[in-house]
Structure 1
Amino acid sequence: MEYLFRSPIDVDIHLENEEERSFVDIEFEQGRKDKAPVYGSDESVKGAVMIRLKDGRKLDHNGIKIEFVGCIENTYDKGNIHEFTRSVQELASPGEMRQAQMFDFEFKHVEKPYESYFGKNVKLRYFCRVTVTRKMTDVIREKDLWVYRYENEPETNSLIKMDVGIDDCLHIEFEYTKNKYHLRDVIVGKIYFILVRIKVQRMEVNIIRRETIGTPPNQYSNSETVTRFQVMDGNPNRGETIPLRMFLNGYSLTPTFRDVNKKFNVRYYLSLILVDEDQRRYFKQSEITLWRRKDEQGIIA
């Protein structure tokens, strides 16, 4: 990220073993895109800063520093940035540079309490920021990294059972084998048609993501359908049972976030939707919990 159009120096931030890591594509405002290397929540952040002079000119500066920052940004209020972690290292005291220099840095076991997230209303970012302080205008560069937080298998995982009913017209029961899923999991369930006296045109199961920021009365929510899974097309018969299998791998999902730094939540719901021949819609939804695991082969999920 550049804050000057004409900088007297080039500043590059290189993270150790960056090329060997997985990357996440991220998109900033104005359509600017970048790739961020993936870090675990307990990893140190180590690397080097290279500063090159332009046009053979010398650089007089008032100090060079690097910061590791974790922050939450409200996309509807650009000035509302909350830093929840920040570490600083001085790379150079005030002085003069006549040639390119490299500065090593390391933030040992720096605090990364939350997983990275770029949503509709809010962003949770981690980045390294280099500042070269000058008499005129400071030169600032940022480099994002992406943090994953891994969890263990939940100790309890309950069956979900719900029903959709209209007096003397429709009675459907559906169940899912559990309510907590890792991001490469498979949702397995069954749908039972107990009573069907209306013409059902189609039925689908949707995964809904609901993002909420702030606290009442200044609270904003945004819901989006991550995916639609068509269960059936046509009218079912009474007593019919339809199996359901949804593979989560490949969808744009994140773990469930609850009360992150008292700033935002991201929750997921399974929504069963029926549409009759008159285009009336009947639905029922249940919250599910998504979590990230790392299996024995080291595959990120």
Structure 2
Amino acid sequence: MASLFFKSPVDLDIRLDGDDERKTVDVKVSKDRREKVPLYCDGESIKGAVTVRPRDGKRLEHTGIKVEFIGSIELFFDRGNHYEFLSLVQELAAPGEMRHAQTFDFEFKNVEKQYESYHGINVKLRYFVRVTVSRRMADVTREKDLWVYSYRVPPENNSSIKMDVGIEDCLHIEFEYSKSKYHLKDVIVGKIYFLLVRLKIKHMELSIIRRETTGAVPNQYNESETITKFEIMDGAPVRGETIPIRLFLGGFDLTPTFRDVNKKFSCRYYLSLVLVDEDARRYFKQSEITLFRRTNDQ
């Protein structure tokens, strides 16, 4: 990075071809800031230009200029280490000097991007272009992020989910969801059957839970967050009653399911059914669902 105590002797600008026409993704980069990032796919080339501009017309001596395309995983509890699973480099200029701005074209052809971009609670998987002007004193770098989607073919086997909640001689409920794998714009359709009700149920709610797991044992961290929660029943049900469920996923900030990405993190989703009785006791059942991205799930 450029020194904190001296003004950088050079301005760096990275432009990607077709940025103005390319689709973007609105990414949360910090607690209070979001940013539009260009969207790329697996196998797509990364092409653009780097402009190096010496400041104040001064002569810039350098020991080489390079551009890199990097895929990395950053674990927030391990901030000192970034795990690079993809690293490509091109030399733009041999050691020398410059007095005026110069623009260098670059292209990384047909790049395999095996993972989808992800910004979570404790982990970030990012792809970025980085240009470095190497100097005898301090290198000067500039980075530009891009976002990657991974599209999947809809699964051939997509069985329903059937589970029950029971307390002997007091409560027996069966619930069923029509399938276990959903695309990001899908609709969760299901039914809840009350076979035995001797408890005074006050209300029932359904939640989507996202569970992020980072690191490896013994330094493993689990974080759960509720994506949405809504009440599907208010008041006591009766035996034989059936309650339909219909939940549209398109309005929520969801990602595909990630399992053991580069042996660094996972992100799983669960449907959580919760019943609350008049004494505020809670009875719940969770079932994992799989989310995937189709071509038209932008």
Matches within 5 A, 1:229-240: 229-240=230-241
The separation in 2 between residues aligned to 1:141 and 1:233, in whole angstroms, is 55
Shift of 1:185: 0.4
Shift of 1:29: 5.6
Deviations 1:133-192 (A, max 9, x none): 112211100111100000001010001001111111111110000000000000000011
Task: Specify the alignment match of 1:56 in structure 2.
Answer: 57
Task: Specify the alignment match of 1:224 in structure 2.
Answer: 225
Matches within 5 A, 1:61-210: 61-210=62-211
Q: Which amino acid aligns with 2:278?
A: E
The separation in 1 between residues aligned to 2:184 and 2:30, in whole angstroms, is 27
Structure 1 portions without partners, runs of 5+ = none
The separation in 2 between residues aligned to 1:268 and 1:145, in whole angstroms, is 25
Q: Which amino acid aligns with 1:59?
A: L
Q: Which amino acid aligns with 1:41?
A: D
Structure 1 residues 30 and 210: alpha-carbon distance in aligned structure 2, compared to 1, 3 A threshold: closer
Identical counterparts, % of pairs: 66
Task: Give the match's secondary structure for 2:56.
Answer: coil
Residues 44 and 112 in structure 2, CA contact (< 8 A), matched pair in contact too: no
> RMSD of the TM alignment (CA)?
1.5
Task: Specify the alignment match of 1:24 in structure 2.
Answer: 25
The separation in 1 between residues aligned to 2:283 and 2:19, in whole angstroms, is 49
Shift of 1:53: 2.3
Task: Specify the alignment match of 2:283 in structure 1.
Answer: 282
What's the TM-score, normalizing by structure 1? 0.94
- Kindly indicate whether residue 242 of structure 2 is the aligned counterpart of residue 245 of structure 1: no
Shift of 1:33: 4.5
Residues 3 and 141 in structure 1, CA contact (< 8 A), matched pair in contact too: no
Residues 60 and 97 in structure 1, CA contact (< 8 A), matched pair in contact too: yes
What's the TM-score, normalizing by structure 2? 0.95
Q: Which amino acid aligns with 2:124?
A: K
Task: Specify the alignment match of 2:43 in structure 1.
Answer: 42
> How many aligned positions are there?
296
Residues 184 and 297 in structure 2, CA contact (< 8 A), matched pair in contact too: no
Structure 1 residues 32 and 10: alpha-carbon distance in aligned structure 2, compared to 1, 3 A threshold: farther
